[in-house]
Chain A
Amino acid sequence: MNYIIDRRLNSKKKSTVNRQRFFKRYRHHIKKAVSDAVDKRSITDMDKGEKISIPTKDINEPIFHHGEGGKNTRVLPGNDRFNTGDQISRPQGGSGQASGKGNASDSGKGEDDFVFQITQEEFLNFMFEDLELSNMVKRQLAGVDEFEIRRAGYTNEGSPGKVNIIRSLRSANSRRIALVGKKRRRLKELKSELKKLEEEEGENSERKLFLTQEMEELQGKIKRVPWIDDFDLKYNLHVKFPIPHSQAVMFCIMDVSGSMDQSTKDIAKRFFLLLYLFLQRNYEKIDVVFIRHHTSAKEVSEKNFFYDRETGGTIVSSALHLMDEILAERYPQSQWNIYGAQASDGDNWNDDSSTCYKLMTEKLLPKLQYYSYLEITSRKHQALWHAYEKVLEGFPQKFAMKQLENAADIYPVFRELFQKKTL
């Protein structure tokens, strides 16, 4: 009795539960590794999986076993030089030949870390765990791209495939009752009169004839009422129902004046990317608008945004103006969740900063969900920072500003900006 069974199509993921249990147990380790990884990663592979390593001692499953010492005897194969009674000096540090100290697998010390791979999905989960978008989500009927078919009662017209049999027969039945009810009643009366006449055995044959004629006529009429008619047919009605879904637009504003060097831009880019990934997990649809500015602002492609370099002074308000224009033109406030992130090294035309303040408080912030300002510099703050500080006072919920000095700050700052807030 032998069977050969093909199990290849059976489920593969038998270990998924155990794997998840493991993650749950070591989530602190994994989270730390993820956070370290975010800092180290280059921008293009931000959303890949990650190798996680956990110290073996933390993951050890202890059992009773012998430690070093005592008297050990051991048999080894492949003798090529020893004779009975030879003395071998004890290997130092355990790396020498033939160290007879128990079983090799027994000693858990000095082993490498336990290393394993997590997937992109898992990586992002850990990366954005405990973070939230601070400012509500607008759900709007946007566009016409997504519908859901819903039931909407019954209708008199439709394709044969959607005939509702119960409804159709019910309406046929009531129509028949309505049309023949009176006639049947009359028929019944005639029948009983005829019966009475027959019992009396009178000479009333004229009357009899009349009655029979009328009865036949009635029966004919009843018979002619159709069992089911076109207008009895009822159909299930389905309607397309537009699904509201959330959409967001993210404005990335960056200073590209001569003072911003490639590494500063790189830091800014990483921050924008984190923000993008994070928004992507929260909204079904995301638009990204890149605005770069020096003395004047321009909407550009992603590539130009990060890699073009221009020289010139800096007027931040130009970018804010442009953002406001784009908002008015393409992103009505009622339909879009609007986020803005601005990165700069803090340089600005001095008298421009007050214009920025005005623009932010009066025009932009009332429309936005959230706006964050990053100053990537290790120098002293300048006018722009102080202007924004005033903004912060007015809009503590919607506005955030942080200073970054190097790449290692990005993730912590990001986490800080989007930390779940308990009110």
Chain B
Amino acid sequence: MKKRLPLSTGSEWTFELLEKYNQEIAKIAEEFGLDSYPNQIEVINSEQMMDAYASVGMPIGYSHWSYGKQFLNVERSYKRGQMGLAYEIVINSSPCIAYLMEENTITMQALVIAHACYGHNSFFKGNYLFRTWTDAESIIDYLVFAKNYISQCEERYGEANVEAIIDSCHAIMNNGVDRYKRPYPLSPVEEAERQKEREIYLQEQVNDLWRTIPLIEKDEEEGEKTRFPEEPQENLLYFIEKNAPLLEPWQREVVRIVRKIAQYFYPQRQTQVMNEGWACFWHYFILNTLYDRGLVTEGFMMEFMQSHSGVIYQPPYNSDYFSGVNPYTLGFHMMTDIRRICENPTDEDKQWFPDIAGSDWCKTLDFAMRNFKDESFILQYLSPHLIRELKLFAILDDDSRESIEVSAIHDDLGYQHIRETLSAQYNIGNREPNIQVYNVDVRGDRSLTLHHSRFNRRPLDQDDTVEVLKHIHRLWGFDVHLHSLEDTKIEQSFTCPVKDTDVAKQREIF
């Protein structure tokens, strides 16, 4: 074993030390082929961390009361000591901004640098979803544009009016994402210039849709049969931005801003397990390598192991602390498991993973990181070994049956089932209700009809759906209907504003 020449022995950090650690970590990251954006490491204090928290990870955000609520919440939990602040926040931008907290020890700082600046950072740069949906170069500029635009609107049209629109947009933010189309990348500099142009153009488009001048006969006959939109649309915010009849140009732009931000966060929602798993795997690997090279002390490793095991702890299902599968645990173990399969495959692994058993672990992991999202990643790589280790079991809760059934446990018969079920659990399409724009009554009362296609007979939550519809009504300006469909049968029906006759009438039509 080499003679130890640790970079530091105390627990205090200094900027020189951060620099040194960062260099060593970067060296290791490069050796193992981590490709990342340049890093911008910012040291902040706890109060600034709370600010960063409250703005849901956007370094610059427009002003809105909901962020104030978030802040108060964080502040309270922090002051009561219920919650330690996260050690880091990392922002998917180029350069990749990572916040380190001033209170951390040097061990924690090193952990965070490895985790965020090389783990998350390389994930942002490599994963296909981020590559497709986000533009790390321009996001900061876009956020600045958004903030300025919204504060201009507030000056011109009043805070309350802007707030109302943003409230409504936030309500359907999760339904403001294109899941299948690739967005047209727009440079941020263009954005501001083209905004005015777009304003005028959009308004014209809308006017055309609601034109009252009679069309030629032929069109009208066809119009009776077709719906608008012709195909159901999943992106409610986009549909509203383009087609809502009564919105002012500035309101459309606000809708657009919220939609863009929703789109920016969409990949993060789909890759939580992978992203955290990847980052945990690498901080674990890098810090251990630092130790192997004699750059850190035993004390450093003890502290590191303690917080690492805290992060990846999975309370069992019957624990008081249980709140679902911990994405850090699952991700970290899956990544580690892939490496194990590559290096020391058992017969079982060879049978389940003929492609990767015995291959180069570095390349295999890199491939997995780049080409999957949580859902497909689990479906592809969750091994029987890991299922046994975590003692996973699947339950089926069907409200048409009297009791909950254990549908699979960690045995030969259950592996495949558990894998599929867990994968489905991370499918956003299953997790969130599938709601699409079905029709606009262009020739009648201009009402907007949405359809919810039920999955596994799961209904919409009654109270919140009513509230959300009010928001959609505010944006759309005319009546809004929502039908929850089991195949073609309407199970639930909502209308805003509420009229008794409306509900009855809609039922008859179907």
Please determine whether B40 and A104 come into contact, CB atoms closer than 8 angstroms.
no
Taking a contact as CB atoms closer than 8 A, the residue among A14, A64, A100 that contacts B395 in the complex is A100
Q: Is A84 in contact with chain B by the CB < 8 A criterion? A: yes
- Partner-contacting stretch, out of A18-26, A232-240, A304-312: A18-26
Q: What is the interface residue range for chain A against chain B?
A: 35 or more
In the assembled complex, which residues on chain B have CB atoms less than 8 Å from the CB atom of A115? 76
In the assembled complex, which residues on chain A have CB atoms less than 8 Å from the CB atom of B298? none
In the assembled complex, which residues on chain A have CB atoms less than 8 Å from the CB atom of B38? 1-3
Contact indicator per residue, chain B 318-330, by CB within 8 Å of chain A (1) or not (0): 1100011100010
Please determine whether A71 and B404 come into contact, CB atoms closer than 8 angstroms.
no
Please determine whether B404 and A98 come into contact, CB atoms closer than 8 angstroms.
yes
Please determine whether B42 and A65 come into contact, CB atoms closer than 8 angstroms.
no
Give Cα distance in the complex from A400 to B421, angstroms: 73
Q: Is A97 in contact with chain B by the CB < 8 A criterion? A: yes
Please determine whether A117 and B464 come into contact, CB atoms closer than 8 angstroms.
no
In the assembled complex, which residues on chain B have CB atoms less than 8 Å from the CB atom of A71? 396-400, 456-458
- Partner-contacting stretch, out of B59-67, B266-274, B277-285, B361-369: B59-67
Give Cα distance in the complex from A5 to B44, angstroms: 9
Give Cα distance in the complex from A62 to B72, angstroms: 19
In the assembled complex, which residues on chain B have CB atoms less than 8 Å from the CB atom of A90? 397, 402-404
A84-B413, A98-B395 as given contacts; A15 in contact with B41, CB under 8 Å: no
Q: Is B251 in contact with chain A by the CB < 8 A criterion? A: no
Please determine whether A18 and B65 come into contact, CB atoms closer than 8 angstroms.
yes
Please determine whether A98 and B65 come into contact, CB atoms closer than 8 angstroms.
no
Q: Is A66 in contact with chain B by the CB < 8 A criterion? A: yes
Please determine whether A63 and B393 come into contact, CB atoms closer than 8 angstroms.
no
Taking a contact as CB atoms closer than 8 A, the residue among A69, A78, A114 that contacts B317 in the complex is A78
A64-B432, A67-B462, A108-B464 as given contacts; A75 in contact with B392, CB under 8 Å: yes
Please determine whether B63 and A17 come into contact, CB atoms closer than 8 angstroms.
yes
Contact indicator per residue, chain B 450-463, by CB within 8 Å of chain A (1) or not (0): 00101011111111
Q: Is B418 in contact with chain A by the CB < 8 A criterion? A: yes
Give Cα distance in the complex from A152 to B31, angstroms: 74
Residue of B nearest to A101 (CB): B397
Shortest C-beta distance, B469 to chain A (Å), equals 9
Q: What is the interface residue range for chain B against chain A?
A: 35 or more
Give Cα distance in the complex from A67 to B99, angstroms: 37
Give Cα distance in the complex from A303 to B394, angstroms: 70
Q: Is A12 in contact with chain B by the CB < 8 A criterion? A: yes
Please determine whether B464 and A8 come into contact, CB atoms closer than 8 angstroms.
no
In the assembled complex, which residues on chain B have CB atoms less than 8 Å from the CB atom of A68? 399, 459
Q: Is A378 in contact with chain B by the CB < 8 A criterion? A: no
Give Cα distance in the complex from A79 to B408, angstroms: 11
Please determine whether A7 and B48 come into contact, CB atoms closer than 8 angstroms.
yes
Shortest C-beta distance, A19 to chain B (Å), equals 4
Q: Is B406 in contact with chain A by the CB < 8 A criterion? A: yes
In the assembled complex, which residues on chain B have CB atoms less than 8 Å from the CB atom of A97? 317-318
Please determine whether B471 and A62 come into contact, CB atoms closer than 8 angstroms.
yes
Please determine whether B407 and A63 come into contact, CB atoms closer than 8 angstroms.
no
Residue of B nearest to A59 (CB): B69
Contact indicator per residue, chain A 99-126, by CB within 8 Å of chain B (1) or not (0): 1111110111000001111000000000
In the assembled complex, which residues on chain A have CB atoms less than 8 Å from the CB atom of B63? 17-18, 21
Q: Is B87 in contact with chain A by the CB < 8 A criterion? A: no
Give Cα distance in the complex from A97 to B393, angstroms: 14
Contact indicator per residue, chain A 55-89, by CB within 8 Å of chain B (1) or not (0): 00001111111111111111111111011111111
Q: Is A6 in contact with chain B by the CB < 8 A criterion? A: yes
Give Cα distance in the complex from A189 to B332, angstroms: 106
> In the complex, which residues 459-504 of chain B have their Cβ closer than 8 Å to any Cβ of chain A?
459-465, 467-468, 471
Please determine whether A15 and B54 come into contact, CB atoms closer than 8 angstroms.
yes
Q: Is B373 in contact with chain A by the CB < 8 A criterion? A: no
Please determine whether A12 and B48 come into contact, CB atoms closer than 8 angstroms.
yes
Shortest C-beta distance, B490 to chain A (Å), equals 15
Please determine whether A22 and B406 come into contact, CB atoms closer than 8 angstroms.
no
Please determine whether B405 and A85 come into contact, CB atoms closer than 8 angstroms.
yes
In the assembled complex, which residues on chain A have CB atoms less than 8 Å from the CB atom of B409? 79, 82-84
In the assembled complex, which residues on chain B have CB atoms less than 8 Å from the CB atom of A6? 15, 42-43
In the assembled complex, which residues on chain B have CB atoms less than 8 Å from the CB atom of A64? 172, 174-175, 432-433, 435, 452, 460, 464-465, 468
Give Cα distance in the complex from A103 to B269, angstroms: 14
Please determine whether B392 and A61 come into contact, CB atoms closer than 8 angstroms.
no
Shortest C-beta distance, B248 to chain A (Å), equals 22
Please determine whether B414 and A84 come into contact, CB atoms closer than 8 angstroms.
yes
Q: Is B68 in contact with chain A by the CB < 8 A criterion? A: yes
A75-B392, A84-B409, A100-B395 as given contacts; A22 in contact with B171, CB under 8 Å: no
Residue of A nearest to B170 (CB): A61
In the assembled complex, which residues on chain B have CB atoms less than 8 Å from the CB atom of A76? 317, 325, 392-395
Taking a contact as CB atoms closer than 8 A, the residue among B22, B48, B319, B457 that contacts A10 in the complex is B48
Residue of A nearest to B464 (CB): A62
Residue of A nearest to B43 (CB): A6
Please determine whether A82 and B406 come into contact, CB atoms closer than 8 angstroms.
yes
Shortest C-beta distance, B271 to chain A (Å), equals 17
Shortest C-beta distance, B272 to chain A (Å), equals 13
> In the complex, which residues 1-49 of chain B have their Cβ closer than 8 Å to any Cβ of chain A?
15, 18-19, 22, 26, 38-45, 47-48
Residue of B nearest to A106 (CB): B461
Contact indicator per residue, chain B 379-419, by CB within 8 Å of chain A (1) or not (0): 00000000000111111111110111111111101100010
In the assembled complex, which residues on chain A have CB atoms less than 8 Å from the CB atom of B414? 84
Residue of A nearest to B457 (CB): A70
Give Cα distance in the complex from A73 to B172, angstroms: 26
Q: Is A4 in contact with chain B by the CB < 8 A criterion? A: yes
Residue of B nearest to A117 (CB): B76
In the assembled complex, which residues on chain B have CB atoms less than 8 Å from the CB atom of A89? 402-404
> In the complex, which residues 62-96 of chain B have their Cβ closer than 8 Å to any Cβ of chain A?
63-73, 75-76, 79, 95
Residue of B nearest to A118 (CB): B72
Residue of B nearest to A72 (CB): B397
Q: Is B202 in contact with chain A by the CB < 8 A criterion? A: no
Taking a contact as CB atoms closer than 8 A, the residue among A23, A62, A65 that contacts B433 in the complex is A65
Report 15 cross-chain contacts, Cβ distance below 8 Å, ordered by A residue.
A7-B43, A14-B51, A14-B55, A61-B170, A62-B467, A64-B465, A65-B433, A68-B399, A75-B418, A78-B314, A78-B317, A79-B317, A80-B391, A84-B406, A107-B461
**Lowest 10 A-B CB distances belong to which pairs?**
A78-B316, A22-B68, A70-B458, A18-B68, A62-B467, A67-B461, A116-B72, A70-B457, A100-B397, A71-B456
Interface on A for B, CB 8 Å cutoff?
Answer: 1-8, 10, 12-15, 17-25, 59-80, 82-90, 97-104, 106-108, 114-117
Q: Beyond A2-B26, A71-B458, list 9 extra A-B contacts (CB 8 Å).
A: A6-B42, A10-B48, A13-B51, A15-B55, A66-B433, A71-B399, A75-B425, A90-B402, A98-B317
